[in-house]
Structure 1
């Protein structure tokens, strides 16, 4: 990888640090997104150089295809069972390691894989670190049937949380509605600031038609934040005091 932008250099630094955690014999979850692309490339390099024996599950068709092109064998999650480690990116990371994910539309599979792992490690560049989640649109995956009714329920939820008049934007790509790997739709919620992540999370989960949302609360164990100079900062969960 040559002629990288400062942002890409930071992503690559984080990816290298994440891949350095991989040990021979591990069962890995491979994330999706621009930083995960660097991670898959660096992982393939280590496999070739060290002969690592790994069992890997991918969080999207895109990651599966890239891994295959680089010689990494991908298995179904259910074939592997429980995972030792998942390496994935994030769209936002707060000081408690809560995340917004789903900019690439893979947050359903990403959450399933992360929840099936002993440890989730996020790799990111510094722009993803925020004080409060919400500036990045919150993705909500919904089934196509009754989508307008689902939007009405989401709007009522937002109203109840003093988030009135926040835009709910059906995601599009190339002038058409975006479809996930599960053939569902994504609604992007423009919330600006999320003051009560738990309330939004539980409220969205209670709405028929909502498949999954992009809030990852209490799931990340470590965040590795790369910088263009190759350095990496480790973010860990704050200690809970009695």
Structure 2
């Protein structure tokens, strides 16, 4: 691996590389969305090309599907797969119980559907995403376009009674227009600063008319693989309580990931 990579890219790469150890021939995999998940897709593509790995991937976004096809991974729909052996994805935040905030890349709805249709979910991330309490990263909430301002007002009203430090929501934009998800919806980002009871908040948000889904992933993640810029990788398995650490050495040579940025 090139020594010219930035520390953050090294952290993402080693996390993705370590997560590949969980992938077995013949698996049906959920493929996440975001910069860290993109490293995973490239690593899996290398295994398909060089090692003859046979897998089928269910992408969580159109851009992940495009990348998977580019690197030679067979892409199928979740309806075709019916059920998945494993989903590997990134996260915007995770706490000590492996609860997550996801959706910074706008794919939270498909990500949650795919993750919950899997025997196991692994999150790959860097050390900056570990937090004592969720909420510093804005919580994405996907809403239908019709009446989104009403949905926003209802959400902000509900937040007043929740155990959070902030109660404002903002419409996510793409240049001068509202951001549109793969499902044709909008995203409201909730600026909460701290979430005291993530489980309660998730349940309450999903009861609001117009809300499709929120970015809190509670009791879904089984393993977090955390990479660091010096090549260290920590693995935390919530089911068996195991915590181990490995290290990758980087060589000064060319690699197929050199063109992959954030």
Q: TM-score, normalising length from structure 1?
A: 0.96
Aligned-residue CA RMSD (Å): 1.5
Q: Which residue of 2 aligns with 1:66?
A: 67
Say whether the 8 Å CA contact 1:14–1:224 is kept in structure 2. yes
Say whether the 8 Å CA contact 2:164–2:193 is kept in structure 1. no
Q: Residues of 2 paired with 1:113 and 1:161: CA distance?
A: 28
Q: Deviations along 1:155-209, whole A, 9 cap, x unmatched?
A: 1110111547622010012222100001100000000000011111011110110
In structure 2, the gaps of 5 or more residues are 242-262
Q: Deviations along 1:104-158, whole A, 9 cap, x unmatched?
A: 0001000000000000000000001111100000000000001111112101110
Say whether the 8 Å CA contact 2:165–2:192 is kept in structure 1. no
Bigger Cα displacement from structure 2, 166-175 vs 83-92: 166-175
Q: Residues of 2 paired with 1:12 and 1:28: CA distance?
A: 19
Q: Which residue of 1 aligns with 2:225?
A: 224
Q: Residues of 1 paired with 2:110 and 2:17: CA distance?
A: 23
- Within-5 A mapping of 1:75-94: 75-94=76-95
Say whether the 8 Å CA contact 1:95–1:237 is kept in structure 2. no
Q: Deviations along 1:31-64, whole A, 9 cap, x unmatched?
A: 0001001000000001111111111100000100
Q: Residues of 2 paired with 1:173 and 1:74: CA distance?
A: 28
Number of matched pairs = 240
Q: Residues of 1 paired with 2:39 and 2:176: CA distance?
A: 28
Q: Residues of 1 paired with 2:53 and 2:43: CA distance?
A: 13
Shift of 1:236: 2.5
